[in-house]
DNA sequence: CGCGTAAGCGGGGTAAAGTCCGCTTATGTC
DNA sequence: GACATAAGCGGACTTTACCCCGCTTACGCG
């Protein structure tokens, strides 16, 4: 049983729809490699694919959606390695090792697809994104902690990203839960993370 | 001197510019509370502030920039508490405690400003955001690890957010560094995080 | 094989974002 | 207080995302 799990669209598309999606993705990649992300407009993509604008929007919903779709599509190979490739990325290794392996793989994947990832994430660059308050504050505190072997700058980013809006909003989107309970969970989760990372790990073993 | 540190714009604005920024923020809040985020268009904001559209864009660069600015402005109070409020949020407590306190404060801040945060982050909702591959995979592995006292769902989100595009892209934006070194750092950082969290913490103490 | 129907398609229309560049005005200097 | 100059301003203009809704077509069923 390779059990492909449920990582496919739960609702299979009609044959022509699938064909058009493929055509659109291909054209998108062409435009991208020919003239960069800015040249990839919905109109142009539609026309050059020989399809209607409506179709493009039906498929991807949003301009960012196209880049997201491209990214997802490129991610398929990685997905396959995880499901049925060799360890430690694939099954068979210890969970911790699979976790670190997955992280490395994903980081490499993102750097290889930097331009697409960038286009999928940021709309336009609103100018100088100075590091926000969170990062400055967290960095200072981490430095005071003086964690041996830690890359403070990287760790700062990692912790800060756990306090960014998208994560919390995603949790809040969970249906039929009451807010206060969710935020409480989130706060406890944060405390857990901090304690683990900045860890009084040795104290218990004494 | 409460030493305001360097958390202000490093380049002071002209008096009229400052006044206009304030006017714009106020109007933005009015529009927001009167008719919701969707009603806040650049044109409307400009007109209702009695200013030109160019001014709005000069100030905020982008529609999302307005919401970001609103958020930043609302965050000022929190900022002040951190710099000179009572512990554990303010100075005087142990760094770890300040970290957890900061996290809690920020989480509460975000929930209180949910609508603005949402508008600042997501452009439009591209439809059903099913949880991406990262989360599914990480969640499975975390469950296998069976960490005592951990909220797996929350922890999943936290770890996944450390592998999301924005964080890596931000690091890659650092000037005059070579890519491979940065990604290597990032990979090491990830390994560090995973080991800390999923911790073979007791093993060293044995 | 023909029919019903729901999914998919098309492309014109609208409103909003973001750009440009000449004009205005704050601010520092003599 | 007049001047020089650089920052700020305005609003017409262009481009583009995104919506709408009648038409077309794939595909399951009898």
DSSP state string for chain A:
----TT-S-SSPPPHHHHHHHHHHHHHHHHHHHHH-GGG--HHHHHHHHT--HHHHHHHHSSHHHHHHHHHHHHHHHHHHHHHHS-TTTSBTB-HHHHHHHHHHHHHHHHHHTHHHHHHHH-SS--S--PPPHHHHHHHHHHHHHT-TT--HHHHHHHHHHTTSHHHHHHHHTSTT--HHHHHHHHHHHHHHHHHHHS--HHHHH-
Q: Which of B75, B106, B141 sits opposite A95 (nearest CB)?
A: B141
B23-58: pLDDT as tens digits:
999 999 999 999 999 999 999 999 999 999 999 999
**Element at B187 (helix H, strand E):** helix B179-197
Residue of B nearest to A172 (CA): B111
Q: Residue range B68-88: average pLDDT?
A: 94
What residues in chain A have per-residue pLDDT under 50? Answer: 1-6, 127, 202-206
Looking at residue A201, what is its pLDDT?
58
Contacts B102 to A, Cβ<8 Å: 137-138, 141
A24 token code pair: 């659109």
Looking at residue B125, what is its pLDDT?
57
Cβ of A53 near strand D (under 7 Å)? The reply is yes
pLDDT at position B83 over 80 = yes
Asked if B196 lies within 8 A of A195 by C-beta distance, the reply is no
**Statement: B16-121 belongs to CATH 1.10.10.60:** no
Looking at residue B176, what is its pLDDT?
72
Contacts A104 to B, Cβ<8 Å: 187, 190-191
Asked if B95 lies within 8 A of A193 by C-beta distance, the reply is no
Judged by C1' against the alpha carbon of A12, the nearest nucleotide is C7
Looking at residue B3, what is its pLDDT?
40
Question: What Å value separates CA A54 and C1' D20?
Answer: 10
Which of the pair, B153 or B2, is modelled with greater confidence? Answer: B153
pLDDT at position B177 over 90 = no
Which of the pair, B17 or A192, is modelled with greater confidence? Answer: A192
pLDDT at position B123 over 70 = no
Looking at residue B151, what is its pLDDT?
96
Asked if B123 lies within 8 A of A183 by C-beta distance, the reply is no
Q: Residue range B167-173: average pLDDT?
A: 90
A53-70: pLDDT as tens digits:
999 999 999 999 999 999
Residue B42 contacts residue A171 (beta carbons within 8 Å): no
Residue of A nearest to B76 (CA): A133
Least Cα separation, residue A165 to chain B (angstroms) = 6
pLDDT at position B124 over 70 = no
The residue ranges of every structural domain in chain B are: 16-121, 133-199
Q: From CA B166, how far away is CA B161, in angstroms rounded?
A: 9
A54's torsion region: left (phi>0), alpha (psi -120 to 50) or beta? alpha
Residue B40, helix vs strand vs coil: coil
Looking at residue A78, what is its pLDDT?
95
CATH number for A17-61: choose from 1.10.10.60, 3.40.50.300, 3.40.50.920, 1.10.1060.10.
Answer: 1.10.10.60
Looking at residue A124, what is its pLDDT?
56
Looking at residue B126, what is its pLDDT?
54
Residue of B nearest to A192 (CA): B150
CB contacts < 8 A (A, B): 250
Q: From CA B44, how far away is CA B31, in angstroms rounded?
A: 9
Cβ of B14 near strand D (under 7 Å)? The reply is yes
Looking at residue A88, what is its pLDDT?
94
Looking at residue A136, what is its pLDDT?
94
What's chain B's average pLDDT? 88
Q: From CA B91, how far away is CA B83, in angstroms rounded?
A: 7
What percent of chain B stands above pLDDT 90? 76
pLDDT at position B206 over 90 = no
A173 token code pair: 């989107």
Contacts A168 to B, Cβ<8 Å: 107, 110-111, 117
Cβ of A102 near strand D (under 7 Å)? The reply is no
Residue of B nearest to A120 (CA): B165
């Amino acid at each position: 049983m390779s059990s492909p799990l449920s990582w496919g669209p739960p609702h299979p598309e009609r044959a022509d729809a699938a064909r058009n999606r493929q055509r659109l993705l291909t054209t998108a990649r062409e435009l991208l490699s020919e003239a960069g992300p800015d040249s990839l407009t919905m109109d142009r993509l539609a026309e050059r694919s020989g399809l209607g604008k409506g179709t493009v929007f039906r498929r991807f919903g949003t301009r960012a959606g196209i880049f997201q779709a491209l990214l997802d599509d490129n991610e398929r190979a990685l997905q396959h390695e995880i499901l049925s490739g060799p360890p430690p990325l694939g099954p068979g290794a210890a969970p911790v090792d699979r976790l670190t392996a997955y992280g490395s793989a994903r980081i490499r994947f993102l750097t290889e697809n930097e331009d697409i990832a960038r286009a999928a994430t940021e709309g336009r660059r609103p100018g100088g994104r100075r590091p926000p308050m969170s990062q400055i504050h967290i960095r200072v505190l981490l430095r005071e902690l003086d964690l041996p072997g830690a890359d403070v700058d990287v760790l700062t980013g990692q912790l800060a990203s756990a306090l960014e809006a998208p994560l919390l909003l995603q949790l809040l989107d969970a249906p039929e839960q009451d807010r206060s309970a969710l935020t409480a969970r989130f706060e406890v989760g944060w405390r857990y993370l901090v304690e683990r990372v900045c860890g009084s790990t040795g104290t218990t073993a004494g």
